[in-house]
Amino acid sequence: CVCACLSSLTLSLVLLYKDNSLSGENTVSEEMLAEEARKKSKEEEAAAKERAAQRQQLAIEELVQSERNYLRMLQICSVDIRSSLQQLQPPLANLDRLFLYIEDVMEVSSRLLSLLDRRPSGEPQFLQTLCDSFLSLSSDIEAAYKEYLAYYNQISIVENSYKQKEALWNEIVRIIKASAPEVNASSLSFFLVMPVQRIARYPLLLQTIQKHTDTSHPAFKLLEKTALTSIALNCRINEYKRFREVADKYKKTETLTIKDKINRLNPHSIAKKTARFSQQLKHETGIKPKLVDEEFDAFEGFFNILEHGILVLLENVETYLLHLQRFLDCRTEEFDLDMDGEKSPICYKEITTALRQWILPTFEKRMRTLIHKPLCALRDLLVGPRNLIRKRLDKLLDFEMIESKSTLSYDEQAVANTYRTINTLLLNELPRFNGLALQMIWSMLGTFSCMHKDLAADMEQLFQSFAQQLPHSHLHPSAFWEWAESAVLESAKKLQTVCQNVEDTLNAPVVQPLSPSSQRRLKQLTDKHGSGKIYQVASTVVGSRDLDLNLARGELVAILSEADTRGDKRRWLVDAGGRRGYAPSSKLIRYHQAMEDPPPSPHLIVPLDVTGKRRHSYTPESQPMPMRVVRQPYFQVIAAYDFTARGNHEVSLRVGEPVCVLEPYDKRGNREWSLVEAISGQRGYVPSNYLSMKPVEARPPGFVF
Amino acid sequence: MSWIPFKIGQPKKQIVSKTVERDFEREYEKLQKLEDQTKKLHKDMKKSTDADLAMSKAAVKISADLLSNPLCEQDQAFLDSITALDTAMKRMDAFNQEKVNQIQKTVIDPLKKYSGVFPSLNMAVKRREQALQDYKRLQSKVEKYEEKEKNGPAMVKLHQAKEELRPVKEDFEAKNQQLLDEMPKFYQSRIDYFQPSFEALIRAQVVYFTEMYKIFSELTDQIDQGGLTDEQRQRETEAKLTELRALSIVADD
């Protein structure tokens, strides 16, 4: 006994020493850890910068490489394909029209490339070179592309005329495929639409470089300027296209029917018919002057509804512009799902960049200058006539009072004159005002419609350049939507499976960390019932009978009885931290707790009574071996220590030896001894705390320790 | 005598190699970025379609309010123009609604569903981290016991500690492997998942703008003075305003 105490004392001293030296080490290593952390974050920063630089380099390469490919394609088309087409018999009509402006576009592209080639693209200064080259050529780019784009409709028309003759078209396609076998082209427009696409691509290409360029980069400001220039280019090119469209279309003298109609608007006739509104107004205000001037009332009535119309229109236009601005603000093209190699997201980005960065802004600007601004000016002009009409009414009332008199005083004369003057003025000019205002509004409607047409035309031309690239664009609408919707459904199902997999395998409830309330519950239940009785609810339990409990998934309970009062073993009586009731046993899983501290080693004091009858073994509180397990384990009981039997009623065990527990108590019900059967088949008592549980796979049914 | 509790330190043996850990971190970072971007795109798409719908409704209101104003009733040509505009706006609104419905089905809903996977994934990564911590703790315990002199009780404690360690180690390794397998697969799946959505987005707009072009070309021919540039329009408007300003009744006294 003394020896045992001494040895344990030594052991603890050794530990203490180790502890202190460890803590000394620990202080040093804490510093080292901090230093390491600093180094690590610096490394990470450097790595991130490196990645950004790589991406920037890739984006720059993309711009240069794609320009090269683009020029090559145009050359194949305008040289190889063209010469083959020229040899066709009978000669193709309008062939030259297809290639009218392509030379200029190719020339400016090759000039850009030669400027770029002056420096290797890997050099850090290359970005500067790129921006300078682009900016220096920007006016030439504009000049070349604007003609090409303005003329592109003609190209489509010519190609469509070829498509009408099947044999001819097949021949053309054959030539195309022979000249450019490596490209999946099946029409002339595949090549001829490229400039349309290319000019719209520059903003996105430049913005991508910008995204991966740090603001501290020496060329950053220049890059920004270049990107903005590319957008402005597109705006102006589109504007020019519109200008040419209008000029070309209306070169012939059109019957300007609408213009005539607007100019012939007769405010007088309108006014007479709207007189009733004026009466309504007077009726509402309770004013019924004795002198009723029908003509005036008609004009005033017209003015009233005109005023109302203008104010409502202005409000509606402002609401419209508000929502347009909101739409422009949600930059849906700015996502980065790391899919820049895929066709459809890139196409979407390019289309949306064009829409949001110059096509719609142009529309908005036109809306403001051609409709909103004049409408505001018109509204401001309403004030004058409105005030004058009111003044006239006042004067009218005054006039009515003195009207019947035969002789008027000087002042009364003045009143009469004032009234007459205002009345005459309004009678003359109000209809003119009404008419002009109405004409303005009418013209605005036409402008509004034309703006929408232009917007749609811009988008259509943009879409043309993408039609070839998307895999399913050839499908008819109903077929396309069928495909899209079924693809989406499929994906949703796959996603569901992924979710399920993740949840099933990785989220077994047993390993859940305990919330503070669960920890309290655990302690409470363990203190009361012992840790052997703690179970966890595997899935939500909704009680259906009397005395059934409702339990949440993950809740901890203690088992009070493994059967109900009728002996039904599927219904267990549990303590859920105060509440007691029944729960289905199928939903309860044994909960094993992990222990922070190593369990105290049982001090075994030799039993005083050697006779064998009465067993004393002093053991400190025995606790079942705690384990934290993943799956529902089967516990094999093994001997934790060597035990030498000291009598017939005991059995010797070697450490690690598996045993079968027959009775976890001795003849007197003392749980400090257990009756076991060893491998040898021998049976006998051993101290209970000498036994350990070892988890093994697969739980045999009905096993209860 | 109570036992001095061990300090829970780091195990000496490297449980997870630095490269594996770094790969794990990298994959997880990619997923976290994907989560952020998907959420952002979802939010932006929703706001964008809301604004789109509102814009279209506002356009309808412009023509509808004009049509309901008695102003237009009296001149037939004017009435015809406004009626034509109103019809066009209502048709465009119908197409817009259809476009938005299609986008909702093929883009916005899938985006939301995709985002819904991330909470489970994040939880799984957290659980793996917890499992790793438990593993490290128990591993260091085993190592401490291994360093001590081998006597009876020490052997038993070592044995117990090893027993405790094993299920935790297995748990961690299972979780770790599962995630190392699943994360790249899931990341890769985004391409096939979103491909149809982007095509649908583009197609929906193509349809919409094609209709817009048809409807408004026709309308413009009917109600617009042909052949005007913006400058010309502005000049005409300015001329009318000047005429108006020239009226005496307009001057505000």
**SS3 string of B139-204?**
HHHHHHHHHCCCCHHHHHHHHHHHHHHHHHHHHHHHHHHHHHHHHHHHHHHHHHHHHHHHHHHHHH
Closest by CA to A98, choosing from A170, A8, A187, is A187
Helices A102-116, A126-163: axis angle to 10 degrees equals: 160
| Mean pLDDT confidence for B132-146 | 86
At A7, list the tokens.
């040895």
Interatomic CA distance for residues A299 and A427, integer angstroms: 8
CB-CB contact of A399 with A416 (8 Å): yes
**A599 contacts in B (CB within 8 Å)?**
157, 160
pLDDT of residue A291: 62
pLDDT of residue A610: 40
- Residues 6 or more apart from B214 whose CB is under 8 A from it? none
pLDDT of residue A281: 55
- Residues 6 or more apart from A428 whose CB is under 8 A from it? none
B84-100: pLDDT as tens digits: 999 999 999 999 999 99
Mean pLDDT across chain A, nearest whole number? 81
A488–B110: do the CB atoms touch at under 8 Å?
yes
B117–A502: do the CB atoms touch at under 8 Å?
yes
* Radius of gyration of chain B, Cα coordinates, nearest whole angstrom: 35
CB-CB contact of A383 with A307 (8 Å): no
Q: Does B200 touch chain A (CB under 8 A)?
A: yes
Helix (H) or strand (E) holding A135: helix A126-163
Segment among A8-17, A525-534, B158-167 with least mean pLDDT: A8-17
Interatomic CA distance for residues A95 and A188, integer angstroms: 11
A436–B240: do the CB atoms touch at under 8 Å?
yes
pLDDT of residue A7: 55
Whether residue B133 is predicted with pLDDT greater than 60 in this model: the reply is yes
B24-78: pLDDT as tens digits: 899 999 999 999 999 999 999 999 999 999 999 999 999 999 999 888 877 888 8
Tokens 């809903």, residue located: B109
Tell me which chain A residue has its CA closest to the CA of residue B186. A498
pLDDT of residue A602: 40
Across chain B, how many H-helices and E-strands are there?
6, 0
Name the percent of chain A lying above pLDDT 90: 28
pLDDT of residue A146: 94
Whether residue B183 is predicted with pLDDT greater than 80 in this model: the reply is yes
Per-domain residue ranges of chain B: 30-222
CB-CB contact of A98 with A158 (8 Å): yes
pLDDT of residue A620: 35
Interatomic CA distance for residues B230 and B233, integer angstroms: 5
Which residues lie across from A168 on neighbouring strands?
A: none
pLDDT of residue A514: 59
A298-340: pLDDT as tens digits: 888 889 999 999 999 999 999 999 999 999 999 888 888 888 8
Q: Which of B113, B139, B188, B195 to mutate to test the interface with A (most CBs of A within 10 A)?
A: B195
Q: Which amino acid is at A195?
A: P
pLDDT band at residue A201 under the 50/70/90 scheme: very high
Segment among A74-88, A315-329, A444-458 with least mean pLDDT: A74-88
pLDDT band at residue A367 under the 50/70/90 scheme: very high
Q: Does A463 touch chain B (CB under 8 A)?
A: yes
Interatomic CA distance for residues A443 and B232, integer angstroms: 12
Distance of CA A381 to CAs A20, A195, A375, B243, Å?
92, 48, 10, 11
Interatomic CA distance for residues A453 and A246, integer angstroms: 12
pLDDT of residue A72: 94
Interatomic CA distance for residues A491 and B194, integer angstroms: 9
A506–B179: do the CB atoms touch at under 8 Å?
yes
| Mean pLDDT confidence for A52-71 | 92
Distance of CA A649 to CAs A613, A614, A675, Å?
9, 11, 9
pLDDT band at residue A71 under the 50/70/90 scheme: very high
Tokens 């949703």, residue located: A492
| A410 SS3 class | helix
At A234, list the tokens.
């597109």
pLDDT of residue B42: 95
Tokens 């412009």, residue located: B62
* B167 min Cα distance to partner chain A (Å): 6
Distance separating the N- and C-terminal Cα atoms of chain A: 33
Interatomic CA distance for residues A258 and A442, integer angstroms: 10
pLDDT of residue A120: 86
Segment among A436-440, A507-511, A567-571, B154-158 with least mean pLDDT: A507-511
pLDDT of residue A618: 34
**A356 contacts in B (CB within 8 Å)?**
none
Q: Does A248 touch chain B (CB under 8 A)?
A: no
A344–B195: do the CB atoms touch at under 8 Å?
yes
Q: Does B178 touch chain A (CB under 8 A)?
A: yes
Q: Does B28 touch chain A (CB under 8 A)?
A: no
- Residues 6 or more apart from A540 whose CB is under 8 A from it? A551, A552, A553
Highest mean pLDDT among A202-211, A416-425, B10-19 belongs to A202-211
A window 254-313, beta carbon within 8 A of B? 254, 256, 258-259, 261-262, 265-266, 269-270, 273-274, 277, 302, 305-306, 308-309, 312-313
CB-CB contact of B176 with B142 (8 Å): no
CB atoms within 10 A of CB B202: 24
pLDDT band at residue A616 under the 50/70/90 scheme: very low
CB-CB contact of A556 with A522 (8 Å): yes
> Rounded to the nearest 5°, which phi and psi values hold at A279?
-60, -40
pLDDT of residue A598: 34
Torsion of CA A371, A375, A378, A383, to 10 degrees: -170
Interatomic CA distance for residues A472 and A122, integer angstroms: 37
Closest by CA to B134, choosing from A512, A637, A25, A635, is A512
pLDDT of residue A401: 75
Select the CATH number that applies to the domain covering B30-222 from these four: 1.20.1250.20, 1.20.1270.60, 3.40.50.2300, 1.10.260.40.
1.20.1270.60
Residue B105: which of A330, A377, A488 has the nearest Cβ? A488
Helices A166-179, A126-163: axis angle to 10 degrees equals: 150
A468-481: pLDDT as tens digits: 778 887 788 888 89
Whether residue A382 is predicted with pLDDT greater than 80 in this model: the reply is yes
Segment among A54-58, A165-169, A690-694 with least mean pLDDT: A690-694
> Rounded to the nearest 5°, which phi and psi values hold at A317?
-65, -40
**A243 contacts in B (CB within 8 Å)?**
229
CB-CB contact of A653 with A690 (8 Å): yes
| A316 SS3 class | helix
pLDDT of residue A312: 95
Distance of CA A455 to CAs A238, A320, A354, A356, B39, Å?
10, 16, 12, 12, 30
Name the percent of chain B lying above pLDDT 90: 50
> Rounded to the nearest 5°, which phi and psi values hold at A553?
-60, 135
- Residues 6 or more apart from A522 whose CB is under 8 A from it? A514, A534, A556, A591, A593
| B29 SS3 class | helix
Interatomic CA distance for residues A587 and A609, integer angstroms: 47
Tokens 């003075």, residue located: B225
Whether residue A111 is predicted with pLDDT greater than 90 in this model: the reply is yes
CB-CB contact of A551 with A580 (8 Å): no
Interatomic CA distance for residues B125 and A502, integer angstroms: 10
pLDDT of residue A319: 97
Across chain A, how many H-helices and E-strands are there?
20, 10
Segment among A443-457, A583-597, B1-15 with least mean pLDDT: B1-15
> Rounded to the nearest 5°, which phi and psi values hold at A645?
-65, 135
Interatomic CA distance for residues A421 and A425, integer angstroms: 6
> Rounded to the nearest 5°, which phi and psi values hold at A237?
-65, -40
CB-CB contact of A140 with A73 (8 Å): no
* B38 min Cα distance to partner chain A (Å): 7
Segment among A191-205, A386-400, A542-556, A599-613 with least mean pLDDT: A599-613
Residue B249: which of A342, A429, A485 has the nearest Cβ? A429
| Mean pLDDT confidence for A122-126 | 84
Highest mean pLDDT among A266-275, A386-395, B51-60 belongs to B51-60
Highest mean pLDDT among A396-400, A554-558, A623-627 belongs to A554-558
A633-651: pLDDT as tens digits: 455 788 878 888 888 888 8
Interatomic CA distance for residues A523 and A510, integer angstroms: 17
A327–B88: do the CB atoms touch at under 8 Å?
no
Choose between A355 and A608: higher pLDDT: A355
At B23, list the tokens.
């790969």
pLDDT of residue A411: 81
Residue B224: which of A374, A449, A495 has the nearest Cβ? A449
* Alpha-carbon torsion (B215, B218, B223, B229), positive or negative: positive
Residue B7: which of A22, A262, A626 has the nearest Cβ? A22
* A487 min Cα distance to partner chain B (Å): 7
HEC profile of A482-522: HHHHHHHHHHHHHHHHHHHHHHHHHCCHHHCCCCHHHHHHH
Q: Which of B149, B169, B213 to mutate to test the interface with A (most CBs of A within 10 A)?
A: B213
pLDDT of residue A227: 95
Tell me which chain B residue has its CA closest to the CA of residue A391. B253
Choose between B130 and A71: higher pLDDT: A71
Please list the helix, strand and coil fractions of chain B in percent, rounded to the nearest 5, in that order.
85, 0, 15
pLDDT of residue A93: 82
| Helical residues (DSSP H) of A180-274, grouped into ranges | 189-192, 194-211, 220-249, 257-263, 267-273
Choose between B135 and A513: higher pLDDT: B135
